[in-house]
Amino acid sequence: LPTMTSPSNPPSSSDTRTRTFMKIATVNVRGLCSQQRLADFEANVMNVRFAVIGLAETRRLNRERTQLGSSFVLYNSGRCDGAPTYADVGLYMSLRMNKKLVGVRFISDRVIQAEFLIKRRRLSIIQVHAPTSTATDDDFERFLDEIEAARITTKNKAMPEIICGDFNAIIGRSGNKETACGPFGTGNRNDRGISLLRLQ
């Protein structure tokens, strides 16, 4: 799945400070609405090294923080009206990583944003799950607006950001002077891909 990073604060080649490496993952879990599904997910990632895993399509209702018996924490941003859903997003992290958390913003059932303070530097992680190709263009534009709403804090504080998740779009390979995607994409860029690249 694609990950987009903000080029507003690229690392300086003359920066001699010790660099911190974090492993950020994202996955479409296709449902974590039952205890068994959640237990299966935790078993599958037990041997994976990560700081935070962004989750798409959790299908868990409501906006909540759940401390799990496995010493991990799940933040879920889902619908609050009780309606069946194939969306909902979340962030899964250890208690140790949770201590570095400054705050979480539950934007919608398709966008969640978290801000971390790591060695006196702030980092924003935005997890998303875009509408599928069967959704209307208005639905997709609303989704992009929700991402921009999540980025307001990031832009105001000029902090690095990671936008990750299931974008349900095809961006293909990079064109001239494009910085948001590399040369390894597949397929032909579609209208959703064009709209997605406007987030730069």
Task: Give me the chain's average pLDDT, please.
Answer: 88
Q: Which domains does the chain show, CATH number per domain? A: 22-168 (3.60.10.10)
For the stretch 132-187, pLDDT in tens is 989 999 999 999 999 999 998 777 777 899 999 999 999 898 877 777 788 888 89
Q: How far is residue 77's CA from residue 92's CA, in Å, rounded to a whole number?
A: 12
Q: What is the predicted pLDDT for the residue at 17?
A: 58
CA 89 to chain centre: 8
For the stretch 109-123, pLDDT in tens is 999 999 999 989 999
Q: How far is residue 4's CA from residue 160's CA, in Å, rounded to a whole number?
A: 11
For the stretch 176-199, pLDDT in tens is 777 778 888 889 999 899 888 887
CA 85 to chain centre: 18
Beta-bridge mates of residue 141: none
From edge to edge, which strands make up the β-sheet containing 121-129? 3-5, 161-166, 121-129, 111-118, 101-106
Place of tokens 């879920």: 76
Helix and strand numbers, DSSP H then E, in the chain: 4, 10
